[in-house]
Chains A and B, each alone.
Chain A
Amino acid sequence: MHEVGLMQTALTMALNHAQAAGASRIHDLTLRVGMASGVVPEALAFAFDIVSAGTAAEGAELRLETIPTRCYCPHCQQEFQPADWVYECPNCQDISTDIRQGQDLELASLEVS
């Protein structure tokens, strides 16, 4: 995955929002990373240090919330959290293709001043 490019996108969004709110510094950024998104949180953290240098977000705290994958089994009519990349229903062992949570990648919130 392209964590540097994604982090750059997040930072641009964050700087725009901070400016719109009349703020000059970003103190805190929170990203939500879905476990099925294919993005590696550690690589995002590494990328943040690089791309934030010299910007209003330099030195800000980066919080990465990992969102677990949740699937839905149409036979058992219930959601479950798979243990790994095999989305096997713990009840009937069918493999689910219905992912209800875990694919998102979002800039959740900012703390600015």
Chain B
Amino acid sequence: MCGTCRCQTDTSISTSEIAAHQLLQLHQNLLTKNDRLAEHNRTLFRHLLAINILSSPGAGKTTLVQRLLRERDLMAGADPLHSHPIPLQAGVIVGDLASDRDAQRLRQTGVPVVQINSGELCHLEADTVAQAAQQLDLANLHLLIIENVGNLVCPAAFDLGEDLRLVLMSVTEGEDKPLKYPTLFKTAHAVIISKIDLADMVGFKRDEALRHLHLIAPQALIFELSATTGEGLASFYAYLGQAIFQCRDKTP
């Protein structure tokens, strides 16, 4: 029995053993590793506009990127108040678990594309993007498009060093995506509602979608477009064109 309070503590544990326990106050951020690598990417990308495009599988990322690249010189001239070098030099990094079909489609636009096959990894991270970027002539690019793995969950937490994070949601996915994936939508600079040519056919409730976006992601600009018909692309190109121009003045 313990001599102090008469509890049944095993007094064979010496006080010196108990006193040897140290309490270490650390307060160490667990997300530092990717964040540090992302800042390194930011330095690499300082002279260009880097965009991270995210969505669920099948929302239309590749189709939009394909159209954007085909019309990239339209983008260069889209904002009449600013001028920047034409032709626009672009590069793409695309992530998928397997296959290089997206890269093949995008290469048809004449732009260099690096395909990352992430294997079991369901999102891109700053280090894999840095490695892929080494295969591009970054110094001579104005625009780097990173097409993330189709996934609304995991990519949210991984800063890739991008300037703009664009989240796509297609009208065929309904109105609830922002409510269901708040973590991702709260990190978006812009949300693109895609496939608007199909909106009536699928009974898309536009007002509800916009209301959900306002509740969850009030910080995000909203673009509504169709990469197949071209509707709504003009204002999106103006936005990107202005962002590309502003990148020339980015401080390193």
Which A residues fall within an 8 A CB radius of B?
Answer: 1-2, 6, 9-10, 13, 17-18, 21, 23, 27, 31, 36-38, 85-86, 88, 95, 97, 104-113
B:97-122 near A, CB below 8 Å: none
Whether B183 pairs with A38 at a CB distance below 8 angstroms is yes
Sample of 11 further A-B pairs with CB below 8 A, known A106-B26, A106-B27:
A6-B30, A13-B28, A21-B24, A38-B156, A86-B216, A97-B218, A97-B219, A107-B30, A108-B26, A111-B22, A111-B24
Question: Number of residues in B with C-beta < 8 Å to the partner?
Answer: 27
Query: What are some 7 contacts across the A-B interface (CB < 8 A)?
Result: A23-B22, A31-B30, A85-B186, A95-B214, A95-B215, A107-B27, A109-B26
**Most A Cβ at <10 Å: residue of B21, B22, B179, B216:** B22
Does B157 count as interface, using CB distance less than 8 angstroms? Answer: yes
Q: How far is the CB of A103 from chain B (nearest CB, A)?
A: 9
Whether B22 pairs with A85 at a CB distance below 8 angstroms is no
Residues of B within 8 A of A108 (CB): 25-27
Choose from B157, B214, B219 the contact partner of A38 (Cβ within 8 Å). Answer: B157
Does B153 count as interface, using CB distance less than 8 angstroms? Answer: yes
Q: How far is the CB of A32 from chain B (nearest CB, A)?
A: 8
Whether B29 pairs with A110 at a CB distance below 8 angstroms is no
Q: Which residue of A lies closest to B19 (CB)?
A: A113
CA distance A40 to B25 in the complex (A): 23
Whether B23 pairs with A109 at a CB distance below 8 angstroms is yes
Residues of B within 8 A of A85 (CB): 179, 182, 186, 216
Does B221 count as interface, using CB distance less than 8 angstroms? Answer: no
Does B154 count as interface, using CB distance less than 8 angstroms? Answer: yes
CA distance A106 to B28 in the complex (A): 5
Does B81 count as interface, using CB distance less than 8 angstroms? Answer: no
Whether A111 pairs with B21 at a CB distance below 8 angstroms is yes
Does B139 count as interface, using CB distance less than 8 angstroms? Answer: no
Contacts A85-B216, A95-B214, A95-B215 given; indicate if A17 touches B20 (C-beta within 8 A).
no
Does B6 count as interface, using CB distance less than 8 angstroms? Answer: no
Choose from A13, A95, A104, A113 the contact partner of B26 (Cβ within 8 Å). Answer: A13
Q: How far is the CB of B154 from chain A (nearest CB, A)?
A: 7
Whether A1 pairs with B157 at a CB distance below 8 angstroms is yes
Choose from A9, A95, A110 the contact partner of B24 (Cβ within 8 Å). Answer: A110
Whether B26 pairs with A110 at a CB distance below 8 angstroms is yes
Q: Which residue of B lies closest to A18 (CB)?
A: B24
Does B31 count as interface, using CB distance less than 8 angstroms? Answer: yes
Q: Which residue of A lies closest to B214 (CB)?
A: A95
Residues of B within 8 A of A105 (CB): 29-31
